């Protein structure tokens, strides 16, 4: 029997194969469903060009939090990923890139020491080798189970961005649904160009927390990608089907000659 998926926005029932062939975007109302890491990599990179880096690294339990290791294992089994980010090198329309794709389905895309380390390492490699870095963000924020080690990653990743700025190697950020917390408060806000997928929630604290704190009703569409673009935080909202060509254009137009 054909599997049907209901769109949460327009409520139309869509055949799962049709949805998959349409990059998990509703053909009726353009709602962008969750896109898995491996699908994202296939969508962005030239065929068979992606080579994963540090794929065997796994998170430790530095604070010896009870139940954390079991939780990691559960998410590993469920998602087939080692942690909340996959990094590697690839080509995009023939241009060399370094790519990081965060996985929201792995512990809410939370950034612990491993996620911070992998992203930092990619940015340092990019700076050394003069290869642009693209990061697809999706995160609920810092990983609570790693406490201060998790918060440290904000400073660490931000320092790596500073190195990229110094060496004039471009960093392209793509915000996907949702990007919040410590990831928004560090590298995700520091790209040379910041793109977003339509409808993505982008912020630090969520709307409910803010509403509760300031005791005021928030405007329509608050913290959505389009709102953030209209208020200058996001440079462009790009449909999934146009993402590869948009990034390709950005890479070509941001090339800096070594002697400049």
Min dist. Cβ of residue 166 to Zn ion (A): 44
User: Which stretch, 26-34, 36-44, 135-143, 212-220, contacts Zn ion (CB under 5 A)?
Assistant: 26-34
Q: Does 29 bind Zn ion (CB under 5 A)?
A: yes
User: Which stretch, 18-26, 87-95, 162-170, 204-212, contacts Zn ion (CB under 5 A)?
Assistant: 18-26
Per the CB < 8 A criterion, the answer to whether 23 and 9 are in contact is no
Q: What is the DSSP letter of 212?
A: H
User: Which stretch, 23-31, 159-167, 169-177, 228-236, contacts Zn ion (CB under 5 A)?
Assistant: 23-31
CA distance 235 to 230: 9
CA distance 229 to 114: 31
Min dist. Cβ of residue 26 to Zn ion (A): 3
Q: Which is nearer to Zn ion, 26 or 100 (CB)?
A: 26
CA distance 62 to 45: 35
- Record the tokens describing residue 61, joined without a space: 């339990």
Q: Does 26 bind Zn ion (CB under 5 A)?
A: yes
CA distance 28 to 112: 38
CA distance 88 to 81: 14
Min dist. Cβ of residue 6 to Zn ion (A): 9
Q: Which is nearer to Zn ion, 31 or 233 (CB)?
A: 31
Min dist. Cβ of residue 4 to Zn ion (A): 13
Q: Which is nearer to Zn ion, 198 or 206 (CB)?
A: 198
Per the CB < 8 A criterion, the answer to whether 188 and 161 are in contact is no
Q: Binding residues for Zn ion, per CB under 5 A?
A: 7, 9-10, 26, 28-29, 31
């Amino acid at each position: 029997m054909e599997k049907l998926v209901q769109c949460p926005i327009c409520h139309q029932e869509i055949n799962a194969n049709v949805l998959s062939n349409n990059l998990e975007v509703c053909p009726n109302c353009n709602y962008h469903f969750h896109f898995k890491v491996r699908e994202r990599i296939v969508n962005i990179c030239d065929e068979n060009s992606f080579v994963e880096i540090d794929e065997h690294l796994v998170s430790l339990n530095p604070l010896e939090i009870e139940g954390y290791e079991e939780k990691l294992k559960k998410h590993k089994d469920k998602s087939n990923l080692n942690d909340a980010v996959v990094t590697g090198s690839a080509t995009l329309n023939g241009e060399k890139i370094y790519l990081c794709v965060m996985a929201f389905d792995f512990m809410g895309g939370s950034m612990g020491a491993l996620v911070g380390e992998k992203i930092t390492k990619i940015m340092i490699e990019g700076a050394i080798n003069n290869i642009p870095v693209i990061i697809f963000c999706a995160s609920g924020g810092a990983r609570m189970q790693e406490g201060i080690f998790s918060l440290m990653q904000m400073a660490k990743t931000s320092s790596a961005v500073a190195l990229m700025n110094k060496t004039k190697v471009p960093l392209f950020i793509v915000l996907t649904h949702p990007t919040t917390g410590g990831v928004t408060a560090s590298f995700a806000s520091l790209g040379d160009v910041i793109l977003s997928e339509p409808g993505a929630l982008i912020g630090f604290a969520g709307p409910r927390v803010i509403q509760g704190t300031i005791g005021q009703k928030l405007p329509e569409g608050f913290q959505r990608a389009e709102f953030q673009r209209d208020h200058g935080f996001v440079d462009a909202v790009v449909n999934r089907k146009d993402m590869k060509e948009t990034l390709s254009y950005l890479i070509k137009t941001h090339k800096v000659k070594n002697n400049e």
